[in-house]
Structure formats: structure tokens, C-alpha cells
Amino acid sequence: MDQVDFLNGKTRLFGIVGDPIEQVRSPEMITWEMQQRGMNAVLVPLHVRDCDFDEVMPQLLRVHNLDGLVFTIPFKAKALSFAQALGPQARQVGAINALARHPQGHWIGEIFDGLGCVEAFRQRGLALRDKRVQLIGLGGAGAAIAAAVAAEHPALLQLFDLNDERSEQVAKRVRSISPATQVVVAAPNVQDVDVLMNASPVGMLSDARLPLDVTDLPASMVVFDAIVKPEQTPLLQLAEACGCTVVRGREMMRGQIARMVDYFNRQA
Amino acid sequence: MDQVDFLNGKTRLFGIVGDPIEQVRSPEMITWEMQQRGMNAVLVPLHVRDCDFDEVMPQLLRVHNLDGLVFTIPFKAKALSFAQALGPQARQVGAINALARHPQGHWIGEIFDGLGCVEAFRQRGLALRDKRVQLIGLGGAGAAIAAAVAAEHPALLQLFDLNDERSEQVAKRVRSISPATQVVVAAPNVQDVDVLMNASPVGMLSDARLPLDVTDLPASMVVFDAIVKPEQTPLLQLAEACGCTVVRGREMMRGQIARMVDYFNRQA
């Protein structure tokens, strides 16, 4: 009888929870990654309205073949309360973007934004250890990137955010993760820096601005932009024109998916 | 980037709710039917434990891109209370096996067991109108088959179930659906009958019994068995040996899926 081959009664369910939901890319990308690895699993979009979240979530977690959830806007902060235990990154950052059902039945949370960035560098054979890193933007993704980069033990991690309090908070966290790393909070600077990372929204969509005031970058520099759309941000355009090595938001996304599926698969 | 093509952020969700869930066939079959028709939709298994059903269901129905649910054991009776309106078959039978989200937001319920049986006959070009039909077994599926067959206005509908009260109840319902049909409650009989239908569990899996006491069937008879496993039941084996036309449980299942997807698609 005619039937699809990617779904059956034994399929384990995963979901991405957001409001709105139509723009998410996880269903096609994470499902692909899971099925490539031989998991009988799909990740479906779950449109839970913000006003329904607190009541729907506890019941959704009781669906017995649901093994994991990814959270997107506006639920990244709220999701934390549904984790009964946190992974190392989530403990440091104080936020999660994924929940996995532990084999013992409880839900554990982790955040993969930073791990995805580090994974992208690893995939490209670009070391962060002992490097001098400038990170711009310390919002949700930026703070997670700071924690994950800190765990790689760079020589210097220079931090900038428009919000000073946030910068100091992230600096303190980085110092506790990697005491040997020199941590500086200062205006963005590309002198004596090996790796420039943008995790601010400057350059997103049709924003033609650069996230820092430069006209030139040293060719030896590795330049990363967390922005996914457009693929070629103004910063990456300048970096390529200057002969720099560039690492794109899409590579971080791919890295994040790989690490997330590792996490989901390990619990299964 | 590598991705699957059967799922994305705009995919409308459908589910089959049951406990257990691993044995269900709807995910692969209904998803195939929906995607064949160009719907961006999947039907996933939702394992809701019997003890969790009453609390999980109302919240599950608030997932905003969930457009429909199919119910299997043990939820066919319980599901009725979540329908805010009923289709014609469900009103007659007093049970549902599918809920669809109406464009206005409320949930409507219908039962497709009987419609699937009638659809299987239609697909094969076998009329039920003005025929003399013997139906054995008036449980959930049998009662639904009686109602759907009644709506085709057979000349005679002869009913048998081990439970007399149930037989009388179904007989009364059939009379109200098709006043011109002669309705008889009696022991199964193949004299002066054109169509023999089994909706009892006799003959299921390794049960080698026949649902009625015969050694021979007239070659002119159409014999239907609602049982899906095995495909060749003892009754159908005898029918084929006697030269009868046979209609299988799988054909009913396929008919049911077609009508169910019509229903889901009409609401979308």
C-alpha cells in the first residue's frame, strides 16, 4: 500500500516551539540530520501562542513519544523553567534553547548557540585556543557564544555591548569559565586581534551598517558573523575584500544542529 | 543546505492519538495521502497515556498549527467530548474517530469506519443500494458500518451481534436512517443475501474460526471482512474458494483514509 517512508508509529517526535512559527528552518534541517543518522525521528513545527505557553507546555511534555523540543522567539527565556536539570552551557548562560527527555523521564536543558559557533570553527580547522578574540554583541546568542568561546581558552576575549551592565556580567562569567583568559570590556577594536566575531544584529536583513567603525581589516584575521540572513553581511563583505578568512552564520547554524542532534540522540 | 522536503515551518500538523501507539499505520498512510494531494501536512504518532488523556487533550488542541487528530484505542469513546459539533455519521453513531479544526476555530468530529467501508465498495463499483446485506458484529466499527450502509439504502439489512441489546439499538438507528430498508435482527444467514459483511473480531490474527456457521457460500455473493490482519481471513479464504467477490479490510482502510483526508482538507 502507498505510504511514506519517513514516518510511522514508532517515530520519535521532536518539535520547535515558537510564536510565530512559519519562518523556522529547524523542521527541514534537524529532521534531515536526524534521519541521516538513522534515527526514526522527525522535528515538527509547534505553533504555541505566547498567551497559551504556560498552560500548554506542561501537558505537551506528557506526550509520551515526544523526546525533545527546540525553543525559538519568544520562548527562550521562559523555557528554562521546564528543565529539571541543565547542561554545562545552560548553567553558565542561564538560558536554554533545547529540552531533551532524559532516559529516566525528566527533562534536561541546554543552549546550543555558542556550541554551534565553536563547532563551525572546529569544522573549518580554525583554532580559538590561545587566540585573541573580539566579540561584539552580548544578547542571547552573544552571551552563549562568549561562554562557549571561553571554554576554548582563548588568550584574550574582548567584549563589547551597548549595554554596559550586560558586558560586565558576561565578562565575570568568562573569567570564571577560563581564569587564564584575559578579559577586557571595551569599544570594538581590531588591533592585536586574531578573530573578530559579530553577534549583534547590526548588518541583518537590509541593514547596510558595519557593527564597528573600520574601513579595513588585516588579511590574517578570521571574521565570523552570526547573522544568517543575508548570508553575505556588510561585515563579511568587507572581510572578504580585505582577504580575511570568513565564517558564516549558516556554518554556526549547521554546527548548532549537529551538536543539538548529538544531544537528542544521546538521550534516546 | 541539506534538508528534507516533506516538512518545514509552514507544515500543518495532524496526529493520531493512542495508547499504545507503535502499531498504528496512519502516520505513513495518511501522510502519504495528504502529500499526494499537495497538502503541506504530516500526521504524526502522539502517544498519550490513558491516565494523561483528560489533561493533555485540551492543551494539545491549543497547538495552533494542529489541524486534526485521529483517535485509536482506547480513546474512541472519550474523544467525543472534545468535539464542539458532529458530522452526520458521528451524530448517528454517537462516537468519533477524527477531530478537525473548523476554519472558525472550533473542533468538529466525525467517524469514518463506516464511510471507509462504503467507499471501498464504491471504488470497486459494487452497489449496496437495493441489495440484501448481512452484517455480523455491531461493536464500534460494526455500528458505524451499519449506519453508513443504511445511508446507501439497501433493500434488507440483517444484523447480528452476540449482544442483543446492541443489535436492537443498531436496528432502531438503521430504521431511522433508511425507513425503506427492511431491518432484521437474527442469527447470521446467507440465504437470500447478496452481501455478507463481517465486522466482528472472529478470524483476526491467528483465529482460524469463521464468524458464521457455513461450509459453502453462493458464488454470486460479495463477501467483505473488516479485519486487516491477516489480509486473508478464514472467511475470505472460504469466499474465494467458492468463487465469491471479496472486499478486504485493507480496502476499507484505504477508503477510510481517503474520506478522512477529504474531511481534513475541506476544513483547511
Q: B1: pLDDT confidence band, cut at 50, 70 and 90?
A: low
A–B: how many Cβ contacts below 8 A?
148
Compute the nearest-CA separation of B63 from chain A (Å). Answer: 5
Residue B3 near residue A29 (C-beta atoms within 8 A)? yes
Q: Mean pLDDT across the stretch A221-237?
A: 96
Identify all chain A residues contacting B26, using CB atoms and an 8 Å cutoff. 9
Judge: B35–A4 Cβ closer than 8 Å, yes or no.
yes
C-alpha cell at A130: 590561545
> Quick one: which of A262, A267, A258 has its CA closest to A26?
A258
In this complex, the residue of B44, B52, B59 whose CB is nearest that of residue A44 is: B44
Provide the pLDDT for residue B267: 73
Residue A89 confidence class, pLDDT cut points 50, 70, 90: very high
pLDDT, residue B140, reads 87
For residues B165 and B108, give the distance between their C-alpha atoms in angstroms, rounded to a whole number: 29
- pLDDT value of residue B77: 84
Strand pairing report for A85-86 and A41-47: unpaired
Residue range A143-159, pLDDT digits in tens: 999 999 999 999 999 99
Distance CA A230, CA A122 (A): 23
**Residue written as grid cell 559579530:** A198
pLDDT per residue over A53-64, tens digit each?
999 999 999 999
CB within 8 Å: A7 and B63: no
pLDDT reported for residue A268:
63
Helix (H, G, I), strand (E, B) or coil at A203: coil
- Whether residue A42 and residue B45 make contact (CB cut-off 8 A), yes or no, is no
Q: Please give the residue that has the higher pLDDT: either A200 or A77.
A: A200
Q: What are the boundaries of each domain within chain B?
A: 12-111, 114-252
Across all residues in chain A, what is the average pLDDT? 96
Q: Which residues contact B61 (CB under 8 A, 6 or more apart)?
A: B69, B82, B99, B107
Give contacts of A22 with chain B, Cβ < 8 Å: 9-10
What is the ipTM metric for this complex?
Answer: 0.89
User: CA A157, CA A130: separation in Å to the nearest integer?
Assistant: 10
- The CA distance from B158 to B183, in Å, is 6
Q: Is the pLDDT of residue B216 over 70?
A: yes
Segment B24-38, tens digit of pLDDT: 999 999 999 999 999
List B182's β-bridge partners, or say none: B156
Identify the CATH class of B12-111.
Answer: alpha beta
The CATH T-level fold of domain A114-252 is Rossmann fold (3.40.50)
Q: Using one digit for the tens of pLDDT, what is the confidence trace for B45-72?
A: 999 999 999 999 999 999 999 999 999 9
pLDDT of amino acid A1:
62
Burial of B263 (0-12, 13-18, 19+ CB in 10 A): middle
B45/A27 Cβ within 8 A = no
Query: Which of B199, B200, B211 lies closest to B239 in space, CA to CA?
Result: B211
pLDDT grade, residue B266 (50/70/90)? confident
A58: which chain B residues are within 8 Å (Cβ-Cβ)? 59
| Arithmetic mean of pLDDT, B138-164 | 96
Query: Does position A140 have pLDDT exceeding 90, yes or no?
Result: no
**Average pLDDT for B231-259:** 97
pLDDT (0 to 100) of residue A76: 85
The total of other beta-carbon atoms located within 10 Å of residue A244's CB is 19
Mean pLDDT of chain B: 96
Q: Which helix (H) or strand (E) holds B197?
A: strand B195-198
For residue B268, name the pLDDT band (cuts at 50, 70, 90). Answer: low
